[in-house]
Amino acid sequence: MNQNEAPFWEALTAYARVGVLPFHTPGHKLRPGAFARLGEVLGEGLFALDPSDMVEAPELDHDFLKALAQAEELAAELFGARRSLFLVNGTTGGLHYLLMPVKGSVLIPRFSHQAVYSALVLAQGRAVYLPAAFDSQWLIPLPPAVEEVAQALAREQPEALVLTHPTYYGTVSSLAELAQLAKRYGTLLFVDEAHGGHFRFSPALPATGLECGADAVVQSTHKTLGALTQSSMLHCNNDFWYAKVVQARQVLQTTSPSLVLLAVLDEVRRVLALQGRELVERAVELGRRCARELAALPNVEVVPEHLNADPTRIVFSLRELGLTGKEVERILRVDYNIQVELSDYYHVLALISVGDTPESAARLVQAVGDVVARRAHLGREPLPRYKVEFPDLPPAALSLREGFFQDKEEIPLAEAAGRISGGFLTPYPPGVPLIVPGEVFTPEIVEYALWCAGLGWSLRGMAAEQKVLVLKENGSLCRTYGKENLVCARDCS
Ligand SMILES: Cc1ncc(COP(=O)(O)O)c(C=O)c1O
């Protein structure tokens, strides 16, 4: 195949060039018209490339459906897959298509992203968790150990295992070994590779999920490789499952996918095929240099390589200066006009990608150096290094799916013990859900969450006034639990 062609991009731009008089959707009729400000900022070109349907016009060489199929074949070849799909609802959409058809149980690390959890709300089987372990110094979730996964596979015989490669912090598991294990147990292996699309292009980066033997992976091409936000790719090496994925997509995807997003995916693939290695290796080098320079600054700590396998993700902390990650994020934004990807109590995560330049990386280093110099003389105490005793997984009264769709109400966290959770509650660090829908608040979970809140750690899922979502006491879900110290909050008589 000719990787220097971008059939979908070429078909769409050709359609725009011909200037067909459109009596079809969308209503903007391929020009900004009355919406002048949109035209000024977005340009005429964006509208011209935005017909809402796969117009079939083979005589004009604009057979969009055929061109899309060719574009996806080219992507499959580049990423080492049998089949690829372009996605317009991000990696979230791809994970939904992969997991919706699963009937049996699905094994996932507890720290999985909310997109995996929402996919499990759609799946027919129940979720089984590999409990969270994290590095005690950095409070970063660790990948599941091979032995632990082997035991869970033997015990649960799940239909699918979903691993995250890499995690938000750049951590990876022994994926090739885990893929072999999954095969041995007849378990499908799907990889959430939202942050790993660039792995294919540099030997300095970990092997990709497909290279390790996964059945399918989903990559946010928009996160690390330059496509427009929302655009991802699903790569599949299992024909049997691919047919199911296509069916799930029929159910879940809009019937009007943005052709601009699809065309940009195609053109990004073409450029990566020609220059991917050069571009990604440049980003890797830039990331390495940036991390080295940050680590050389006094009181700046950079997460080491054994925890972060991806040099383009720079996780650092100014905790020695008494600054929380959230504070550093705010200072960088307000005083230096720099926005990082993520922060929590200890960490800041800055991403370097194919879109960066030596100048942009140098600006970050300079800004952090400046913050360090400004703060050093204020003499703030280092942040305390808390020892985290993460509570055990709570008992599940209902499956994730059942718990998700019940009637819910907000109550104070302090009164939640014994109630069934209607939502997720996730403290950062370490970014692992304490509880998910359908599980029962234990006194330990309530106590731990209150402790995190007291430290000012962000708790995603907690509403104002320390309230949490629980299922309404409508009587039909009343249960008691075996755990001694757990009392049912309802009248179970
Ligand atoms: C690990 C992980 N998986 C999945 C997703 C969802 O990806 P998308 O935004 O492309 O839907 C994200 C998004 O941040 C993520 O971090």
Q: Is residue 284, in this structure, part of any structural domain at all?
A: yes
Are residues 353 and 395 located together in one domain of the fold? no
Contact 485, 443 (CB under 8 A): yes
pLDDT at position 486 is 44
What does the pLDDT read at residue 59?
A: 66
**Residues 233 and 151 occupy one common structural domain:** yes
Q: Which of 274, 302, 321 is the last residue of a domain?
A: 274
Cα(415) to ligand 1 centroid in Å equals: 33
- Partners of residue 342 on adjacent β-strands: 349
Examine the domain organization and report whether 401 and 452 are in the same domain: yes
Residue 124 and residue 235 in one domain: yes
Residue 225 lies in a domain: yes
- Ligand 1 pocket member 442 (CB < 6 A): no
CATH number of domain containing 247: 3.40.640.10
107 lines ligand 1 (CB under 6 A): no
Q: Are residues 262 and 331 in the same domain?
A: no
Task: Please give the residue range of the domain that contains residue 329.
Answer: 278-376
Is residue 193 lining ligand 1, measured as CB closer than 6 Å?
A: no
Q: What are phi and psi of 47, to 5 degrees?
A: -70, -40
Q: Does the residue 19 lie in any domain?
A: no
Cβ–ligand 1 distance for 397 under 6 Å, the answer: no
**Final residue in a domain of this structure, among 259, 274, 289:** 274
Q: Which CATH number belongs to the domain containing residue 407 in this structure? A: 3.90.100.10
Residues 188, 58, single domain; the answer is yes
Beta carbon of 390 within 6 Å of any ligand 1 atom: no
Are 151 and 263 found together in one domain? yes
Cα(220) to ligand 1 centroid in Å equals 7
Whether residue 146 sits in one domain with residue 60 = yes
CA of 173 to the centre of ligand 1 (A): 18
Residues 429 and 294 placed together within one structural domain of the fold = no
Tens of pLDDT, residue by residue, the chain (493 residues): 999 999 999 999 988 998 889 998 999 999 999 999 999 999 999 999 999 877 776 666 678 889 999 999 999 999 999 999 999 999 999 999 999 999 999 999 999 999 999 999 999 999 999 998 889 899 898 999 999 999 999 999 999 999 999 999 999 999 999 999 999 999 999 999 999 999 999 999 999 999 999 999 999 999 999 999 999 999 999 999 999 999 999 999 999 999 999 999 999 999 999 999 999 999 999 999 999 999 999 999 999 999 999 999 999 999 999 999 999 999 999 999 999 999 999 999 999 999 999 999 999 999 999 999 998 777 679 999 988 888 999 999 999 999 999 999 999 999 999 999 999 999 988 889 999 999 999 999 999 999 999 998 999 999 999 999 999 985 544 444 444 444 444 444 3
CATH code at position 298: 3.90.1150.10
User: One-letter amino acid identity for 212?
Assistant: C
Alpha helix locations (H) across 257-385? Answer: 259-295, 325-336, 358-376
Atom of ligand 1 minimally distant from the CA of 112: 1
**Is there a contact between 380 and 323 (Cβ–Cβ < 8 Å)?**
yes
Query: Does the Cβ of 91 fall within 6 Å of ligand 1?
Result: yes
Same domain, 164 and 270: yes
Assessment of whether the complete model's pTM goes beyond 0.85 = yes
470 in a domain, yes or no? yes
Q: Is 220 in the pocket of ligand 1 (CB under 6 A)?
A: yes
Residue of 220, 234, 310, 426 with the most ligand 1 atoms within 8 Å of its CB, for mutation? 220
CB of 84 within 6 A of ligand 1: the answer is no
How far apart are the CA of 211 and the centre of ligand 1, in A?
A: 21
Q: Is the CB of 169 under 6 A from ligand 1?
A: no
Torsion, CA 287, CA 292, CA 298, CA 300, rounded to 10: 40
Q: How many separate domains does the chain show? A: 3
In the reported structure, the alpha carbon of residue 221 is separated from the centroid of ligand 1 by a whole-number distance in angstroms of: 10
Confirm if 253 and 328 have CB atoms less than 8 A apart: no
Report yes or no on 156 lying in a domain: yes
Instruction: Confirm whether 490 is domain-assigned.
Output: yes
pLDDT at position 218:
98
Domain edge (last residue) among 312, 345, 376 = 376
Task: Output the 3-class SS for 5-72.
Answer: CCHHHHHHHHHHHHCCCCCCCCCCCCCCCCCHHHHHHHCHHHHHCCCCCCCEEHHHCEEHHHHHHHHH
- Residue 348, H or E segment: strand 348-351
- Looking at the fold, whether 133 and 267 belong to one and the same domain comes out as yes
The pLDDT assigned to 480 comes to 42
Structure confidence at residue 53 (pLDDT): 72
In this structure, which residue's CA is closest to atom 7 in ligand 1? 91
Measured from the Cα of 94, ligand 1's closest atom is 11
Whether residue 109 sits in one domain with residue 250: yes
300 lies in some domain: yes
Residue 356 alpha carbon to ligand 1 centre in Å: 21
Q: Decide if 10 is inside a domain.
A: no
Instruction: State the pLDDT at residue 60.
Output: 65
